């Protein structure tokens, strides 16, 4: 082969190599193939108190390689506080829109529906039928107070409720006046920041219920001047709203009694931190059930807007069934949530409801009055009051 032919062959070989390498580098790139749906994505916007459980369930669900009509389902979980999610739905800020929303409580779904009905003329979340919102677990608000402090309060007041907590919060002499130690300072109340955690609003609504002696709280009750004065004095016992995270029970555990002697928080949040609190502060919390109880039911709610395909809705239902399965509901119990699957016992082996029974945890909630869900105007009034009177105090 002469030199000229050699050059020619080398150039042709180089061209073939470049084309071959390009093809290899593409590998499994299917961009030249017709579009086809390879994955059914279920995007879940999840309330903070059930995030750990739902995220864990999503991981095991994905790992099992579940399919719908042969197409694999992938569940992605994003933690969003219920009130924050409601605002984002109202303002159309979700991009992409979640396939599923698990808010803290059903009333948040109703509030979003109300806004969307005004915009679109229809509900975006259904309350009946196959795709209706269904609770996946429940929890309720209880008092969680460091046991040394709870003992002093019970000796002083007999029972612990919002009225006695108000008396403790406003005691000018602090803990010594209440019979506690001087080093404890003043009584410090933990209330989740309602701008970051819907639990803060729930606590204020419960306080209003007890103040007015009713389970139905409206604008008239929360706007009453004497109530607002009372609530303002009560909130004066919160140490620092600026640095409290959305996870108030976590704050209670991390900073201990130095930052909060106790507060009315979600039972599941308290239970999931009991072990850590005991380990870090060498003192458990005492759990006390209030007379006026607020329940969170964490409804699994599928977005019915055009952004969600029928296949995605059905994939979401698959995940919902998975969450309601005995095995996954049992995992919820381990995290302090009350199961909705009645086949799952609350007092099974390793249940925190059994482990912390001595600290006041009850498997059967005593007869009490359940707070009714507040309407949008009531919530708005409370949030505005909070912004003006507490965060800017």
Closer to other proteins at the Cβ: 262 or 290?
A: 262
If one asks whether residue 245 binds other proteins (CB under 8 A), the answer comes out as yes
40, containing H or E segment: strand 40-46
Neighbours of 351 (CB within 10 A): 19
SS3 at position 350: coil
If one asks whether residue 259 binds other proteins (CB under 8 A), the answer comes out as yes
Closer to other proteins at the Cβ: 55 or 212?
A: 55
Tell me the pairing of strands 71-79 and 67-68: antiparallel
If one asks whether residue 186 binds other proteins (CB under 8 A), the answer comes out as yes
Angstrom distance (rounded) from CA 255 to CA 238: 13
Look at residues 322, 293, 311, 242 and name the one whose alpha carbon lies nearest to residue 138: 293
Residue 120's Cβ-count burial label (10 Å; 0-12, 13-18, 19+) is: exposed
Neighbours of 279 (CB within 10 A): 9
Closer to other proteins at the Cβ: 93 or 347?
A: 93
Closer to other proteins at the Cβ: 22 or 342?
A: 22
Among 69, 118, 242, 306, binds other proteins (CB under 8 A): 242
User: In sequence order, what are the residues at sequence separation of 6 or more whose Cβ sits closer than 8 angstroms to the Cβ of residue 95?
Assistant: none
If one asks whether residue 22 binds other proteins (CB under 8 A), the answer comes out as yes
If one asks whether residue 393 binds other proteins (CB under 8 A), the answer comes out as yes
Closer to other proteins at the Cβ: 92 or 236?
A: 236
Residues between 261 and 290 that touch other proteins (CB under 8 A): 273, 275-277, 279-282
Q: Which positions from 318 to 337 touch other proteins by CB under 8 A, shown as an x/- string?
A: --------------------
If one asks whether residue 255 binds other proteins (CB under 8 A), the answer comes out as yes
Cα dihedral 122, 202, 244, 250 in deg (nearest 10)? -100
Neighbours of 257 (CB within 10 A): 20
Q: How far is the CB of 282 from other proteins (least distance, A)?
A: 7
Structure tokens at 61: 């669900």
Closer to other proteins at the Cβ: 185 or 345?
A: 185
If one asks whether residue 240 binds other proteins (CB under 8 A), the answer comes out as yes
User: How many chain residues are in contact with other proteins, going by CB under 8 A?
Assistant: 50
If one asks whether residue 19 binds other proteins (CB under 8 A), the answer comes out as yes
Angstrom distance (rounded) from CA 187 to CA 238: 9
Q: How far is the CB of 337 from other proteins (least distance, A)?
A: 19
DSSP labels, 115-184: HHHHHHSS-SS-SSSTT--EE-EEEEEEEEEEHHHHHHHHHHHSS-SHHHHHHHHT-TTHHHHHTS-GGG
- Binding segment for other proteins (CB under 8 A), chosen from 106-114, 285-293, 333-341, 385-393, is 385-393
- Binding segment for other proteins (CB under 8 A), chosen from 10-18, 56-64, 318-326, 357-365, is 10-18
Beta bridge partners of 383: none
Q: Which positions from 200 to 239 touch other proteins by CB under 8 A, shown as an x/- string?
A: ------------------------------------xx-x
Q: How far is the CB of 339 from other proteins (least distance, A)?
A: 25
Q: How far is the CB of 239 from other proteins (least distance, A)?
A: 5
Longest dimension (CA), the chain: 109
Q: How far is the CB of 16 from other proteins (least distance, A)?
A: 8
Among 28, 29, 226, 343, binds other proteins (CB under 8 A): 29
Q: What is the CA radius of gyration of the chain?
A: 27
Give the N- to C-terminal CA distance of the chain in Å, as an integer: 92
Q: Which positions from 156 to 185 touch other proteins by CB under 8 A, shown as an x/- string?
A: ------------------x------xxxxx
Closer to other proteins at the Cβ: 86 or 273?
A: 273
If one asks whether residue 300 binds other proteins (CB under 8 A), the answer comes out as no
Tell me the pairing of strands 100-102 and 299-302: antiparallel
DSSP labels, 122-135: S-SS-SSSTT--EE
Site for other proteins, rule CB under 8 A: 3-5, 7-8, 11-12, 14-16, 18-19, 22-23, 25-26, 29, 31, 174, 181-186, 188, 236-237, 239-240, 242-243, 245, 253-255, 257-259, 273, 275-277, 279-282, 391-393
């Amino acid at each position: 082969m002469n030199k000229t032919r050699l050059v020619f062959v080398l150039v042709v070989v180089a061209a073939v190599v470049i084309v071959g390498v390009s093809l290899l580098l593409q590998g499994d790139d299917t961009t030249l193939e017709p579009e086809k749906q390879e994955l059914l994505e279920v995007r879940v916007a999840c309330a903070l108190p059930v995030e750990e459980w739902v995220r864990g369930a999503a991981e095991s669900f994905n790992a099992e390689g579940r399919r719908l009509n042969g197409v694999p389902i992938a569940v992605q979980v994003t933690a969003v506080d219920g009130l924050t999610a409601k605002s984002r739905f109202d303002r159309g800020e979700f991009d992409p829109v979640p396939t599923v929303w698990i808010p803290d409580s059903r009333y948040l779904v109703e509030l979003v529906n109300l806004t969307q009905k005004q915009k679109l003329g229809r509900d975006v979340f259904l309350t009946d039928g196959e795709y209706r919102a269904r609770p996946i677990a429940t929890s309720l608000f209880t008092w969680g107070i460091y046991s040394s402090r709870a003992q002093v309060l019970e000796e002083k007041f007999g029972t612990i409720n919002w009225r006695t907590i108000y008396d403790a919060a406003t005691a000018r002499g602090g803990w010594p006046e209440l019979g506690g130690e001087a080093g404890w300072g003043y009584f410090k109340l933990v209330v989740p920041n309602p701008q970051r955690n819907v639990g803060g609003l729930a606590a204020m609504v419960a306080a209003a219920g007890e103040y007015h002696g009713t389970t139905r709280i409206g604008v008239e009750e929360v706007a009453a001047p004497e109530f607002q004065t009372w609530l303002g004095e009560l909130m004066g016992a919160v140490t620092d709203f600026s640095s409290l995270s959305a996870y108030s029970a976590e704050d209670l555990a991390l900073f201990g009694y130095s930052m909060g002697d106790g507060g009315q928080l979600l039972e599941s949040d308290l239970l999931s931190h009991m072990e850590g609190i005991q380990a870090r502060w060498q003192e458990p919390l005492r759990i006390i059930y209030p007379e006026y109880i607020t329940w969170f039911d964490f409804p699994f709610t599928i977005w019915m807007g055009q952004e969600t395909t029928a296949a995605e809705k059905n994939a979401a239902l698959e995940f919902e069934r998975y969450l309601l399965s005995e095995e996954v509901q049992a995992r919820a119990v381990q995290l302090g949530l009350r199961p909705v699957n009645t086949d799952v016992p609350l007092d099974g082996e390793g249940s925190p409801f059994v482990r912390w029974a001595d600290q006041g945890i009850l498997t059967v909630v005593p007869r009490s009055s359940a707070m009714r869900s507040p309407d949008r105007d009531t919530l708005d009034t409370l949030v505005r009051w909070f912004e003006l009177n507490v965060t800017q105090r």
